[in-house]
Amino acid sequence: MSSNKIISVSELKKSYGRKEVLKGVSFGAQSGQIIGLLGPNGCGKTTLIKILTGLIKDYDGDVRVDNEEPDAYTKSIIAYLPEKSYLPDWMRPVDALEYFADFYKDFDRPKAEKMLLRFGLDLKQKLKTMSKGQQEKLRLALVLCRKAKLYILDEPLGGVDPAARSHILDLIMENHEKDSTILISTHLISDVEYIFDRVLMINNGQVVIDSHVDELREKGKTVEEVFKEVFSYAW
């Protein structure tokens, strides 16, 4: 595993009007790690993701991705899967492949085609006739088939049926660049935690847990058990 720091965040603060959403968040991430970004709705996860991806530029504190402030370069090395789809309904998988091949120099189209066929998707079926789970598989395949340094996946299993989740997670582990980092925001902790190296739990705009998963397991606890203890009031 590489020891290069791909994410460095120090005293990050962000407010919307008088509402402080991030309150001095600090953490770092090494290349090669798979990190779970966990917390209840409204805790600041999405805002943090949007700052890392360069979608939000107005904030206080220091944020670095591969030693650079979020800019055109950092956007080029991040493969981002937002929670909501950005692909238009008229598109077919074959159109989406063409779009990604044109837009991203690091996109591996043959690999993406193989993955979509492995998912059992019809490359000429319009998105508007696909199930939510099929659309999610398409979007995930497009993102995973970029040769990125940092993959940020926001609720990647949201529309996927329980039976297919472990298959999707295996594909994530098999197909991302091996020295890259994956940051996964999810509510499906029990399904996903086995692939995490580390977890970052955020509550009320602050980091409340930053731990390697092995350290939690040595204490005889699963990630989900720790999550429920930390956020017991929310259940």
Domain of 57, CATH number, reads 3.40.50.300
Establish if 209 belongs to a structural domain: yes
Residue pair 165/191 in contact by the 8 Å Cβ criterion: yes
- Residue 233 pLDDT class (50, 70, 90 cuts): low
Q: What's the helix, strand, coil split of the chain in %, to 5? A: 40, 30, 35
Residue that the structure tokens 């991430």 belong to: 29
Establish if 127 belongs to a structural domain: no
Establish if 219 belongs to a structural domain: yes
Name the pTM for this structure.
Answer: 0.92
Total structural domains within the chain: 1
Q: What's the CA gap between 68 and 53, in Å, rounded?
A: 12
Establish if 105 belongs to a structural domain: no
Establish if 130 belongs to a structural domain: no
Establish if 119 belongs to a structural domain: no
For residue 39, the enclosing domain spans 5-86+150-234
- Tens of pLDDT, residue by residue over 129-175, are 998 888 988 999 999 999 999 999 998 887 777 877 887 888 888 86
Establish if 102 belongs to a structural domain: no
pLDDT at residue 234 above 60? no
Torsion angle in degrees (nearest 10) through CA of 140, 141, 147, 150: 10
- Tens of pLDDT, residue by residue over 103-112, are 999 999 999 9
Establish if 14 belongs to a structural domain: yes
Helical (H) or strand (E) element with 74: helix 72-77
